[in-house]
Amino acid sequence: MQPDRPSRPAAASPGADLASETTCGSLGGRRILVVGGGQLPSADAGNPVNNGRAICMTLSRAGASIACADKSTEAAELTVRSVRDGGAVAIPADVASAAGIKGMVQAARTALGGLDGLVLNVGISRREPLAELTADSWDEVMAVNLRAHMLTVQQALPLMSMHGAIVFVSSVAARLPAGMNPVY
Ligand SMILES: NC(=O)c1ccc[n+]([C@@H]2O[C@H](COP(=O)([O-])OP(=O)(O)OC[C@H]3O[C@@H](n4cnc5c(N)ncnc54)[C@H](O)[C@@H]3O)[C@@H](O)[C@H]2O)c1
């Protein structure tokens, strides 16, 4: 998605400024699946670290092990290389497809040896105004931004440890009615 955020100075490598901060260790031993945890490469040197990668790096810095799921294997692997401490593994998965979600959750659980947390970060936007929206594009965005979260939780809950946690990422756009991007 096009970032709404201002650019900031480029780090030596993606997220290197975040990775150099001190580990706090409060999530030691926790195994967390982050859906949409990747970040595609950008030619823009000032491109900020996106939400998914920042979440993976921050959780890892706190000691968690991360399964980074993304429809782009390259994006997921770039995030995995930015993560340290608890370690991370890339899980290729397109959550627009209901069929792939069960496999994503199972792969994360197998790779991490269990599941204590879930971060549903994935969210897409096409910035189509109401007059240009089609039924198909409405369904495509809803399949990722809404249906995928429900299906992932449905698959993950029975596998999650007691006292696990689930975080849904949204946007302030959800609180601002606007005709320029209604599906988002
Ligand atoms: N970018 C912003 O300015 C902004 C502002 C407020 C909230 N948010 C929210 O933060 C979340 C992340 O936004 P972002 O801009 O950092 O993300 P992004 O657009 O950078 O995408 C993150 C990753 O999601 C992956 N992805 C996209 N579709 C997928 C699919 N079908 N299956 C699996 N992976 C898929 C992409 O490959 C990418 O690596 C979203 O929920 C968004 O609504 C973003």
Element (H, E) at 101: helix 98-112
Query: Which residue pairs, CB below 8 angstroms and at least 24 apart, start in 127-133?
Result: 127/2, 127/180, 127/181, 127/184, 128/181, 128/183, 129/179, 129/180, 129/181, 129/182, 130/179, 130/182, 133/182, 133/183
pTM for this prediction: 0.89
CA of 46 from ligand 1 middle (Å) equals: 18
69 forms beta bridges with: 35, 91
114 three-class SS = coil
Q: Does the CA dihedral 65-67-68-72 come out positive or negative? A: positive
Burial class (CB in 10 A: 0-12, 13-18, 19+), 8: exposed
pLDDT of residue 24: 56
pLDDT of residue 2: 52
Residues 103-131 have pLDDT tens digits of 999 999 999 999 999 999 999 999 999 99
Q: What class, spelled out in words, does domain 24-41+48-175 have in CATH?
A: alpha beta
| Alpha-carbon Rg for the chain in angstroms | 16
pLDDT of residue 5: 40
The tokens for 66 are 């991360």
CA of 32 from ligand 1 middle (Å) equals: 18
pLDDT of residue 174: 86
Taking Cα atoms as reference points, which of 53, 94, 99, 54 lies closest to residue 77? 53
CA of 123 from ligand 1 middle (Å) equals: 5
Ligand 1 pocket, mutate which of 50, 72, 175, 181 (most atoms under 8 A from CB): 50
Q: Which atom of ligand 1 is least distant from the CA of 75?
A: 39
CA torsion 173→177→183→184, rounded to 10°?
0
Low-confidence ranges of the chain (pLDDT < 50): 4-16, 19-22
Q: Is the CB of 94 within 6 Å of ligand 1?
A: yes
